[in-house]
Structure 1
């Protein structure tokens, strides 16, 4: 288990990995970025430099924050994670994490989690 800095800027969540910001996007199916690969908790993930014509440079321009890329469902679904925006941290684990919050039922579409909250 590791805890990473979670940063909120311009309405987006970023995590800091090895001194670089990565957009944390549970709604994106595919990760991409400037790095050829990322290693998290001993798991290596190969990255494409772009996805659907979007690169780290164009992503940075679109969100108004310089970042190294985007972490999507292909990478995020490999872990259990706890998002604590107030504390500015993301806890990542290969095992199920316990929490004091309210669980929400999730469905998925193409590996992307979603829920309807009424």
Structure 2
């Protein structure tokens, strides 16, 4: 097992590994970097230099902080990892970790985890995207809630954008909590339609839980935080 410190920058998770800043992004099917590979758990994993004509430098500029690697699903699917916000660490393991908490089943779609949650008693498939600083929900759903303000965000290849934000109560497993959700720009609404998902669950989840990811076992484990 390997353990590294993490920080939250503008609600994005950045791990510090061997002098490099690593953006943890479960919402990306691939990994990008300013180097050819990254070593984890004794293995060398290849990195793309570009995806759809954007690079890690473009992501750094949009983020407002230099990152060396975006760690996505093509690597994360092969390892077990635990994001422990209480201790501000991430643990990587080649073997399953014994983590006590509530198990939530996931399904991988193009290396990105999806799960089922409920909003106002209705079931929805949601993509679990740790690359998203807030959650995103279809405007048909958020229209039932009052806007609490606006937020700035970005999407690689599209650039920066603004969105109205809403407080939306959700239920995940046996837990009910309130997330902050925005609406994707119109051009990205098509992506939501293609993926057949009205919900992208972002890093709000880490306000309430430490989360263990086991893609191989098709589950995550929610561990209620000591503080939030």
What TM-score bracket applies, with the shorter chain setting the length? over 0.9
Q: Which residue of 1 aligns with 2:73?
A: 73
| Structure 1: distance between partners of 2:22 and 2:15 | 5
Q: What TM-score do the two structures reach when normalised by structure 2?
A: 0.50
Q: Which residue of 2 aligns with 1:36?
A: 36
Count of matched residue positions in the alignment of Structure 1 and Structure 2: 118
Runs of 4+ in 1 over 2 A off after TM superposition: none
Q: Which residue of 1 aligns with 2:124?
A: none
**Structure 1 position 108, deviation (Å):** 1.3
**Structure 1 position 3, deviation (Å):** 0.7
SS in 2 for 1:23: strand
Q: What TM-score do the two structures reach when normalised by structure 1?
A: 0.93
Q: Which residue of 1 aligns with 2:59?
A: 59
| Structure 1: distance between partners of 2:108 and 2:50 | 24
Q: Which residue of 1 aligns with 2:10?
A: 10
Structure ranking higher on relative contact order (CA contacts 8 Å, 6+ apart): 1
SS in 2 for 1:86: coil
Tell whether the 8 Å contact from 2:20 to 2:69 is kept in structure 1 after alignment. Answer: no
**Structure 1 position 16, deviation (Å):** 1.1
Q: Normalized per residue, which structure has more strand?
A: 2
**Structure 1 position 36, deviation (Å):** 1.0
| CA RMSD across the alignment | 1.1
| Structure 2: distance between partners of 1:11 and 1:53 | 25
Structure 2 segments unaligned to the other structure (5+ residues):
119-228
Structure 1 segments unaligned to the other structure (5+ residues):
none
